Amino acid sequence: MSYKAPVKDMLFNIEHLPRIDQIAQMPGFEDAGLETAQAVLEECARFNEGVTAPLNFEADKAPSTHSGSTVTTSEGFKEAYRQYTEGGWQGLQHPAEYGGQGLPKTIGAACGEILNAANLSFALCPLLTDGAIEALLTAASDELKATYLEKLISGQWTGTMNLTEPQAGSDLAQVRTRAEPQADGTYKIFGGKIFITYGEHDMADNIVHLVLARVAGAPEGVKGISLFVVPKFLVNKDGSQGERNDVYCTGIEHKLGIRASPTAVLQFGDHGGAAGYLVGEENRGLEYMFIMMNAARYAVGVQGVAVADRAYQKAVEYANERVQSRPVDGSVQGPASIIHHPDVRRMLMTMRALTEGCRALACTAAAAYDAAHHHPDAEARRQHQRF
Amino acid sequence: MSYKAPVKDMLFNIEHLPRIDQIAQMPGFEDAGLETAQAVLEECARFNEGVTAPLNFEADKAPSTHSGSTVTTSEGFKEAYRQYTEGGWQGLQHPAEYGGQGLPKTIGAACGEILNAANLSFALCPLLTDGAIEALLTAASDELKATYLEKLISGQWTGTMNLTEPQAGSDLAQVRTRAEPQADGTYKIFGGKIFITYGEHDMADNIVHLVLARVAGAPEGVKGISLFVVPKFLVNKDGSQGERNDVYCTGIEHKLGIRASPTAVLQFGDHGGAAGYLVGEENRGLEYMFIMMNAARYAVGVQGVAVADRAYQKAVEYANERVQSRPVDGSVQGPASIIHHPDVRRMLMTMRALTEGCRALACTAAAAYDAAHHHPDAEARRQHQRF
């Protein structure tokens, strides 16, 4: 077994730390009790242990490749992503109103850990889509919501986060990508972005870029940044796929440890301008992007737990296999695997304790997020937002 | 420039820390003054910056491969090794009596750092040969010395160190490889060894394995271990290459960070027994092997300095390229490369200080080795051996 999801420990946390029975009393979470959590986590474990985890090592050896303006993901990724969307995993913690399952983040975050532990490079695609969904849910117009949310939540389309530019890093005050207002209320986007996770790939029909840009005449610095939806393919009025938009991948970069995740360099507007749709109001882009960035920050914390647990499991496996010296307590005659050595056990137990501690913390934080959004009492919601 | 050897800092150390002019007064080191050191280090820098360093990254991506019982090293390694031996680099610090240049380790260690920084995977082959040479020089019979030393010192043949076995790790008390005495004074070797650096490759005509094994009836534990020379090809009386010996590579293993270095699994004696030649006396093998292990330990310390310096150079290069935010002191208008940020400078200076400090320590230790072997006064030699 290359990876075994820690379902038992997760369920213990969900039952006892945030008290899932209390979360299930909040409006909208009525079906989200312990039994649901157990059923979801067991299915999530089955899917990722069987489908995404086995792709992890091979994909690291044969990463995504770039040619022209297209990116081909590692072998098996496209089919695994098809199964991922078919299982409804992308919509797990998103509103039923747009086709999601509407489950608490308390359950969703545990599933996120399993997915990330199984295959971090693969998991980055859904992780970014999650963030794009949260940002649109919070800040976008009803029209943008109607056009994009359902397909992002089903996983038919994926999302990205476009902040960094080559001349400024992620110092957003210096963003130079510009948005030119058009007569029809849309914008034309021009500029270059770097380090865009899953900025181009072949796993979904469309890619929905959330892009920070500056409208002509906007105030200097971060107060003059607006947020735009820039789809890879335009969307027709009936929701069907339209023309190719003027955003193209000019290369992918190597990131240590996530070789199979295509980190794209994107060029907007080299052929007349990329159609962009304003999210919320002009010059409030940074505020909206922070919704996505905070979602990503939490998810990256969960990634840490995920990688730590996968590493722990590998370490235990190796400590059981690797033969070296004899046990100090004489419990084994002759050569022993290193798991018999007290200092090796101490190191393994430290790994395990730190990983389980951080998992408990992540579970508690997810529950606070759920309460901040779903608690029936406004003051309680406000309190949990500060948490 | 992918790597720039720190020749200036090395020469400063050699001149001022161990005082190369004092080393040059020891018998045998008469020609090893500062001018020699400078000429050698500059040529060493030129060779490694131009030949071995450019192979480093590509070889990591396309490591050594194993097929049948042969190993094909990464592209360019064979030609680079040819140039390495042609330049006389293998014999730099070994006795002129056997064709070496007889220079102090004080100079040789600096060259070792350059080679390891340029290409660690490549450097492991000469590193192991150095250790084999030291062990044979100290413990082998005149006949073994005459047969093997000249070709090891020229680099025409390479050396290996065979300790670890799959059932015992490196717990040498449990070595099971056995040596059966033959009527002609040689031995037949039977057993398996793992983790053998450059245990098989295509860069040299012959490979000289130094192998720990147990003679029938030997005392239990480490007091019953003997050391044998087991060449890949037997050597005819006239020094020419003889029959293939019964030692075969059955696989290579992956080691993190040194993918291009073939780490071999070796099987001895599956086809009647591998011819082995006793080094020194029976049951004193561990004592002799420690000569090689200590040489390797020192060389691995130098590797640490080498990798640290290469990493530092990469970090400085990246800090000059990567643009992020503005400098706090206002010294640059608009975006700045991260080397302008005080905390980045602090980190780079910490890397540099630690690297240069360890380089100075390595230089001092190399000089102590030279004094321990070459100081005209016996008591001074003894004092330096304790250092």
Residue of A nearest to B325 (CA): A171
- In sequence order, what are the residues at sequence separation of 6 or more whose Cβ sits closer than 8 angstroms to the Cβ of residue A169? B322, B323, B324, B325, B335, B338
User: To the nearest whole angstrom, how far is the Cα of A327 from the nearest Cα of chain B?
Assistant: 11
Tens digits of residue pLDDT in A269-284: 999 999 999 999 999 9
All residues of chain B having their beta carbon less than 8 Å from the beta carbon of residue A169 are: 322-325, 335, 338
Determine the average pLDDT of the residues in B189-198: 97
Number of domains in chain A: 1
Residue-level pLDDT at B295:
85
Residue-level pLDDT at A169:
81
Is residue B125 packed enough to be buried (19+ CB in 10 Å), middle (13-18) or exposed (0-12)?
buried
Residue B325 falls inside a structural domain: no
Which range (A134-148, A282-296, B7-21, B178-192) has the least confidence?
A282-296
d(CA A228, CA A232) in angstroms, rounded, equals 13
Determine the average pLDDT of the residues in A173-184: 94
Residue-level pLDDT at B335:
82
Best probe of the A interface among B193, B194, B325, by most A CBs < 10 A, is B325
Q: Copy the structure tokens of residue B246.
A: 């019964």
Residue B114 falls inside a structural domain: no
Share of chain B above pLDDT 90, in %: 86
Q: Copy the structure tokens of residue B113.
A: 């750092």
Tens digits of residue pLDDT in A192-237: 999 999 999 999 999 999 999 999 999 998 999 999 999 999 999 9
Tens digits of residue pLDDT in B262-315: 999 999 999 999 999 999 999 999 999 888 888 889 999 999 999 999 999 999
- Judged by CB atoms closer than 8 Å, whether chains meet at A168 and B322 is answered as no
CATH number of the domain enclosing A261:
2.40.110.20
Give the pTM.
0.85
Residue-level pLDDT at A6:
98
User: To the nearest whole angstrom, how far is the Cα of A336 from the nearest Cα of chain B?
Assistant: 8
Determine the average pLDDT of the residues in B119-140: 95
Q: How confident is the model at residue A333 (pLDDT cuts 50, 70, 90)?
A: confident
- Judged by CB atoms closer than 8 Å, whether chains meet at B335 and A170 is answered as no
Is residue A387 packed enough to be buried (19+ CB in 10 Å), middle (13-18) or exposed (0-12)?
exposed
d(CA A126, CA A201) in angstroms, rounded, equals 13
All residues of chain B having their beta carbon less than 8 Å from the beta carbon of residue A338 are: 169
User: To the nearest whole angstrom, how far is the Cα of A377 from the nearest Cα of chain B?
Assistant: 42
Category of B341 on φ-ψ map: left (φ > 0), alpha (ψ -120 to 50) or beta:
beta
Q: How confident is the model at residue A386 (pLDDT cuts 50, 70, 90)?
A: low
- Which amino acid, residue B72? T
Residue-level pLDDT at A387:
54
Residue B261 falls inside a structural domain: yes
Residue B120 falls inside a structural domain: no
* Residue with tokens 């009492």, as numbered in its chain: A377
Residue-level pLDDT at A167:
84
Determine the average pLDDT of the residues in A265-269: 98
- In sequence order, what are the residues at sequence separation of 6 or more whose Cβ sits closer than 8 angstroms to the Cβ of residue A86? none
Residue-level pLDDT at B268:
98
**Other CB atoms within 10 Å distance of the CB of residue B79:** 12
Of B167, B171, B324, Cβ closest to residue A169: B324
Residue A247 falls inside a structural domain: yes
User: How far, CA to CA in Å, does A209 sit from each of A232, A253, B118?
Assistant: 7, 18, 42
> Which helix H or strand E contains A264, and what residues bound it?
strand A263-268
Between residues A47 and B295, the one the model is more confident about: A47
Query: Is pLDDT at B172 greater than 80 in this prediction?
Result: yes
User: How far, CA to CA in Å, does B189 sit from each of B78, B144, B214, B247, B275?
Assistant: 29, 17, 9, 9, 6
Residue B356 falls inside a structural domain: no
Residue B213 falls inside a structural domain: yes
CA B242 to chain centre: 27
Tens digits of residue pLDDT in B5-52: 999 999 999 999 988 999 999 999 999 999 999 999 999 999 999 999
ipTM here: 0.74
* Residue with tokens 């360093």, as numbered in its chain: B53
DSSP-assigned beta bridge partners for residue B253: B263
Between residues B335 and A348, the one the model is more confident about: A348
Tens digits of residue pLDDT in A65-124: 999 999 999 999 999 999 999 999 999 999 999 999 999 999 999 999 999 999 999 999
Determine the average pLDDT of the residues in A154-174: 91
Tens digits of residue pLDDT in B98-111: 999 999 999 999 99
All residues of chain A having their beta carbon less than 8 Å from the beta carbon of residue B174 are: 325-326, 334-335
Of B168, B171, B324, Cβ closest to residue A171: B324
Range of the domain at B164: 158-287
Q: Copy the structure tokens of residue A159.
A: 């999302």
The average confidence (pLDDT) of chain A is 94
Strand residues in chain B grouped as ranges (E): 65-67, 70-72, 157-162, 178-181, 187-197, 206-215, 226-231, 233-235, 241-244, 247-253, 263-268, 274-278
> Which helix H or strand E contains A60, and what residues bound it?
helix A56-61
Determine the average pLDDT of the residues in A129-134: 94
Residue A259 near residue A78, CB atoms below 8 Å:
no
d(CA A211, CA A57) in angstroms, rounded, equals 32
- Judged by CB atoms closer than 8 Å, whether chains meet at A174 and B334 is answered as yes
Q: How confident is the model at residue B386 (pLDDT cuts 50, 70, 90)?
A: low
User: How far, CA to CA in Å, does B20 sit from each of A133, B14, B35, B100?
Assistant: 68, 6, 10, 20
Which backbone phi and psi does A85 adopt, to 5 degrees? -70, -40
DSSP-assigned beta bridge partners for residue B206: B157
Residue A143 falls inside a structural domain: no
Q: How confident is the model at residue A1 (pLDDT cuts 50, 70, 90)?
A: low
d(CA A300, CA A124) in angstroms, rounded, equals 9
Residue B282 near residue B306, CB atoms below 8 Å:
no
Give the SS3 label for residue A66: strand
Which backbone phi and psi does A212 adopt, to 5 degrees? -85, 130
Determine the average pLDDT of the residues in A334-355: 94
- In sequence order, what are the residues at sequence separation of 6 or more whose Cβ sits closer than 8 angstroms to the Cβ of residue A255? A261, A263
Determine the average pLDDT of the residues in A253-259: 89
Is the CA virtual torsion A371, A377, A380, A381 positive or negative? Answer: positive
Task: Give the single-character DSSP code of A48.
Answer: I
Determine the average pLDDT of the residues in B330-348: 89
- Judged by CB atoms closer than 8 Å, whether chains meet at A338 and B174 is answered as no
Residue of B nearest to A173 (CA): B325
